[in-house]
């Protein structure tokens, strides 16, 4: 992706991938109607080879995402380790392309600021209120990308409970520790390359993200 300024016009240019509905080998491109299955045919991954499912599964494992089952429109269960609507394509150039990763991180449990189990009233809240990767990585058990969504209906109580525990850990432990850490340093100040202190309006947002906290929780660090 590149931003192009030319003769007073600004264009956002993206590459055109060598994929189509016919190249889908993993996931679903019709909201769970049918899940693709690949005849095991390895991709060349340098010194080794692996199938699309193996490559994507290894990626999910490295992110601490849980394998779970999702049902298609016929009720047939398929095991996935990412969000169900992620797409893996065997491109026409022989490479593996992974698309639609927006839901890769599990949705936060629908918990509002007062502790009630609900989300603020927005459309498709599980697409908006997601855990950050650091919180997912540090959780003692893998978490399902499809928890608290319709794709996660199978064994929902188990996967939803795990994500609820991660959300509660974020609120009860990660946020208070972060708030106390701000007392030990002057906020909005950073040390420049010359060694002097200068204002840094982006410091607190950056520290929040480094701690695995989304900016919407910033108000809970005040006081």
Domain with 51, as residue range(s), is 17-104
Distance CA 60, CA 80 (A): 9
Q: Which residues pair with 65 in a beta bridge?
A: 143
Number of domains in the chain: 1
Distance CA 103, CA 92 (A): 26
Residue 90 belongs to some domain of the structure: yes
Does residue 144 register a pLDDT over 60? Answer: yes
Q: In whole numbers, what is the pLDDT of the chain averaged over residues?
A: 83
Residue 57 belongs to some domain of the structure: yes
- Structure confidence at residue 38 as a pLDDT band (50, 70, 90): low
Residue 199 belongs to some domain of the structure: no
Residue 92 belongs to some domain of the structure: yes
CB atoms near residue 73 (< 10 Å): 12
Does residue 156 register a pLDDT over 60? Answer: yes
Among 11-20, 34-43, 79-88, the minimum mean pLDDT is found in 34-43
Residue 206 belongs to some domain of the structure: no
């Amino acid at each position: 992706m590149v931003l192009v300024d030319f003769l007073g016009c600004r264009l956002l240019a993206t590459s055109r991938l060598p994929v189509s509905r016919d190249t889908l080998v993993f996931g679903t491109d019709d909201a769970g109607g049918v899940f693709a299955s690949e005849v095991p045919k390895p991709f060349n991954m340098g010194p080794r080879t692996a199938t699309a499912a193996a490559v994507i599964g290894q990626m999910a494992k490295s992110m601490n995402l849980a394998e779970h089952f999702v049902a298609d429109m016929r009720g047939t269960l398929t095991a996935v380790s990412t969000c169900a609507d992620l797409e893996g394509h065997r491109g026409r150039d022989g490479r593996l392309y992974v698309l639609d990763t927006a839901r890769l991180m599990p949705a936060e449990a629908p918990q509002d600021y007062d502790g009630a189990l609900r989300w603020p009233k927005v459309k498709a809240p599980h697409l908006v209120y997601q855990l950050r990767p650091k919180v997912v990585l540090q959780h003692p058990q893998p978490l399902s990308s499809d928890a608290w969504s319709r794709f996660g209906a199978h064994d929902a109580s188990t996967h939803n409970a795990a994500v609820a525990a991660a959300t509660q850990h974020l609120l009860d432990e990660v946020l208070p520790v972060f708030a106390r850490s701000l007392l030990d340093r002057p906020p909005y100040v950073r040390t420049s390359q010359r060694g002097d202190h200068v204002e840094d309006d982006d410091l607190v947002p950056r520290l929040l993200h480094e701690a695995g906290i989304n900016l919407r929780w910033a108000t809970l660090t005040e006081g």
